[in-house]
């Protein structure tokens, strides 16, 4: 019997690229098990598996064959990747070293049904695939200029490149994986920290918009960055900050807000003399999920409530283009509610520079394509995990679609901006 083989192109790929997995040399019509596993930067194990039936030629082609059971069901060529689950409960898959090492994903085929209740057998075929968080020639530069703290990712070449600031949420610290991936797609990206990193304050007690203005000016001053405007990609609390940048600053001309607030939340926003009072979160409205994870989405108030009027961001003042990306099953923020409120406000002021993409059954953590759905995880060492929500297959589809839309949006509106600028001369 010829040994079964896993065929897929490049052993190395960028993790936003799909992988075509095909297995050959199996007994015809045999039900087999495909498994994927990886260890993260800290050595924690993530695994997934699915059961497939080989066809009459003894092949399983993941682009055509439906999974019968396991971590997902149906035809999902990248299912083994986005359904990876941690061995340690409530652990999120995050790459910290984004340039120097990939994730090594081991793909195993077992030519029978392999569950945790069956005897341990050896796989009949195995292959390791490298999934990189960056591309050839991308460079990383640690940024410590003025107050600005973060990391700048530059694509290879002379440029000029479209500049983007990348803001994550209340997780704090510096999250780099999205910035490095966008750099592999040709953008110059500043992953910007704003608290709990280096000499930045440990807790976020207020949002000082001048810090973000300094970061935007720093990016624009770089010789390889396209002027006069930059983009911002942002998530959660970062999206509230990005929207404030759109309303009060002029450097950011294309803003992507993923599952964020459209009002000042929790801590005040300051820009020079302006102080915007925040909505006070009602922590008594937290809801505990059956798993013990905490759903906060009812704690953050309603932006349409007149009592919150002074905190809602004046999006009609923004000169930039806005793209709201919403996971409808977001358990952390009622993102749809906030995005719709902002869109209504734009419309009522006769502004049409906003757009919203709503993804049914997608959760809070809309990451680049094929990132495993993290349904709940611990944040900043707090003992009770936060519930993020999402249905795995729908969330995966949302990530794939959103990634394309985000790049199109930046290319369309940052380049247009440049041509607008030239036209004015």
Partner 1 sequence: MVQLTATPVIALVDEPVHIRATGLTPFQIVTLHASLKDEKGNMFYSRAYYRANEVGEVDLERDSSLGGDYTGVHPMGLIWSLKPEKLLTRLLKTDVMNSPFQVQVKLHELDFLLNNKPISAPKASLTLERWYVAPGVTRIRVREGRLRGALFLPPGEGRFPGVIDLFGGIGGLLEFRAGLLASRGFVSLALAYCDYDDLPPQPEITDLEYFEEAANFLLRHPKVHGPGIGVVSTCKGAEIGLSMGIHLKQITATVLINGTPFVFEVPQVYRGQIYPPVPPSIQLVAINTLGLTEFYRMFEETQIIASQSFLPIEKAHGHFLFIVGEADKNVNSKRHAELATDRLRRNGKSNWTLLSYPGAGHLIEPPYSPLCPASGLRALSSSVHWGGEVIPHAAAQEHSWKEIQKFLRKHLISTVTSQL
User: Which one of 329, 330, 367, 391 is the catalytic residue?
Assistant: 330
**H or E segment and range at residue 145:** strand 139-145
Of 178-207, binders to partner 1 (CB under 8 A) are none
Among 100, 116, 122, 419, binds partner 1 (CB under 8 A): 116
Among 77, 86, 160, 173, binds partner 1 (CB under 8 A): 86
**E-only strand ranges, 169-305:** 187-192, 207-208, 230-235, 252-258, 269-271, 274-276, 287-288, 294-295
User: 167 in helix, strand or coil?
Assistant: strand
For position 47 contacting partner 1 by CB under 8 A, the verdict is yes
Query: CB atoms < 10 A from the CB of 124, how many?
Result: 20
Q: How far, rounded to the nearest angstrom, does the alpha carbon of residue 3 sit from its chain's CA centroid? A: 39
CA distance 144 to 124: 51
For position 74 contacting partner 1 by CB under 8 A, the verdict is no
| Catalytic-residue membership of 236 | yes
Minimum Å distance from CB 50 to partner 1?
A: 9
Query: x/- site string to partner 1, residues 382 to 401, per CB under 8 A?
Result: xxx-----xxx---------
Q: Tell me which stretch binds partner 1 (CB under 8 A): 6-14, 226-234, 354-362, 368-376.
A: 368-376
Question: In this structure, what DSSP letter does residue 266 have?
Answer: S
Q: Of the two residues 1 and 382, which places its CB atom closer to partner 1 in the complex?
A: 382
Among 12, 87, 145, 305, binds partner 1 (CB under 8 A): 87
Minimum Å distance from CB 83 to partner 1?
A: 8
3-state secondary structure 306-368: HHHCCCECCHHHCCCEEEEEEECCCCCCCHHHHHHHHHHHHHHCCCCCEEEEEECCCCCCCCC
User: 135 in helix, strand or coil?
Assistant: coil
Residues 6+ apart with CB under 8 A from 416: none
User: Which one of 364, 374, 391, 413 is the catalytic residue?
Assistant: 364
Of 271-300, binders to partner 1 (CB under 8 A) are 282-288, 290-292, 298-299
Yes or no: say if 386 and 299 are a contact pair by the CB < 8 Å rule.
no
Please give the angle made by the CA atoms of 179, 181 and 183, to the nearest 5 degrees.
Answer: 70
Q: Tell me which stretch binds partner 1 (CB under 8 A): 4-12, 83-91, 263-271, 314-322.
A: 83-91
Cα separations in angstroms, 374 against 132, 265, 425: 20, 24, 49
For position 49 contacting partner 1 by CB under 8 A, the verdict is yes
Q: Tell me which stretch binds partner 1 (CB under 8 A): 69-77, 217-225, 240-248, 354-362.
A: 69-77
Q: Tell me which stretch binds partner 1 (CB under 8 A): 45-53, 140-148, 192-200, 247-255.
A: 45-53
Q: Of the two residues 184 and 396, which places its CB atom closer to partner 1 in the complex?
A: 396
CA distance 402 to 360: 12
Query: CB atoms < 10 A from the CB of 380, how many?
Result: 10
Minimum Å distance from CB 325 to partner 1?
A: 21
Find, among 18, 423, 12, 15, the residue nearest to 228 by Cα: 423
For position 376 contacting partner 1 by CB under 8 A, the verdict is yes
Beta-bridge partners for 208 = 270
Of 298-317, binders to partner 1 (CB under 8 A) are 298-299
For position 356 contacting partner 1 by CB under 8 A, the verdict is no
Q: Of the two residues 27 and 292, which places its CB atom closer to partner 1 in the complex?
A: 292
Minimum Å distance from CB 74 to partner 1?
A: 12
Report the greatest alpha carbon distance in the chain. Answer: 77
For position 31 contacting partner 1 by CB under 8 A, the verdict is yes
Q: Of the two residues 199 and 284, which places its CB atom closer to partner 1 in the complex?
A: 284
Q: Tell me which stretch binds partner 1 (CB under 8 A): 108-116, 200-208, 237-245, 319-327.
A: 108-116
Cα separations in angstroms, 47 against 50, 68, 86, 223: 11, 18, 7, 44
Q: Tell me which stretch binds partner 1 (CB under 8 A): 111-119, 214-222, 246-254, 264-272.
A: 111-119
Burial of 37 (0-12, 13-18, 19+ CB in 10 A): middle
State the number of binding residues for partner 1 (CB under 8 A): 42
| Catalytic-residue membership of 330 | yes
For position 51 contacting partner 1 by CB under 8 A, the verdict is yes
Binding site for partner 1 (CB under 8 A): 31, 47-49, 51, 53, 68-71, 73, 83, 85-87, 89, 113, 115-118, 282-288, 290-292, 298-299, 373, 375-376, 382-384, 390-392
Active-site residues, by number, are 236, 330, 364
């Amino acid at each position: 019997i010829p040994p079964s083989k896993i065929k897929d192109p490049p052993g190395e790929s960028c993790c936003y690229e799909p992988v075509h997995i095909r297995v050959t040399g199996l007994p015809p019509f045999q039900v087999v098990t495909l498994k994927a596993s990886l260890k993260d930067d800290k050595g924690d194990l993530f695994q997934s598996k699915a059961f497939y039936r080989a066809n009459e030629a003894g092949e399983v082609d993941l682009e055509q064959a439906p999974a019968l059971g396991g971590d997902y069901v149906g035809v999902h060529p990248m299912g083994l990747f986005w359904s990876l689950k941690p061995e340690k409960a409530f652990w999120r898959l995050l790459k910290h070293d984004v340039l120097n090492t990939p994730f090594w994903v081991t793909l195993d085929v077992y030519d029978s049904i392999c569950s945790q209740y069956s005897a341990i057998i050896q796989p009949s075929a195995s292959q390791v695939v490298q999934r990189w968080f960056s591309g050839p020639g991308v460079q990383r530069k640690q940024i410590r200029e003025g107050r600005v703290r973060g990391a700048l990712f530059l694509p290879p070449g002379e440029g000029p490149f479209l500049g983007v600031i990348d803001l994550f949420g209340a997780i704090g610290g510096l999250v780099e994986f999205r910035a490095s991936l966008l750099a592999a797609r040709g953008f110059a990206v500043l992953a910007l920290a704003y608290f709990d990193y280096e000499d930045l304050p440990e807790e976020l007690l207020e949002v000082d918009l001048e810090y973000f203005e300094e970061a935007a000016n720093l990016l624009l001053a770089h010789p390889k960055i396209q002027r006069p405007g930059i983009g911002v990609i942002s998530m959660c609390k970062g999206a509230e900050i990005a929207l404030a940048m759109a309303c009060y600053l002029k450097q950011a001309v294309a803003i992507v807000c993923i599952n964020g607030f459209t009002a000042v939340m929790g801590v005040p926003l300051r820009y020079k003399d302006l102080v915007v009072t925040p909505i006070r979160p009602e922590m008594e409205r937290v809801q505990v999920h059956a798993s013990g994870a905490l759903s906060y989405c009812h704690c953050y108030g309603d932006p349409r409530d007149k009592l919150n009027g002074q905190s809602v961001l004046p999006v009609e003042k923004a000169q930039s283009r806005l793209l709201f990306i919403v996971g409808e099953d977001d358990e952390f923020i009622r993102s749809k509610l906030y995005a719709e409120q902002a869109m209504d406000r734009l419309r009522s002021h006769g502004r049409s520079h906003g757009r919203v993409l709503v993804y049914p059954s997608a959760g809070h953590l809309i990451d680049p394509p094929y990132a495993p759905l993290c349904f709940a995880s611990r944040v900043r060492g707090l003992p009770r995990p936060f519930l993020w929500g999402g249905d795995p297959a729908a969330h995966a589809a949302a990530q794939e679609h959103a990634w394309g839309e985000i790049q199109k949006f930046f290319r369309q509106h940052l380049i247009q901006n440049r041509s607008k600028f030239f036209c004015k001369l």
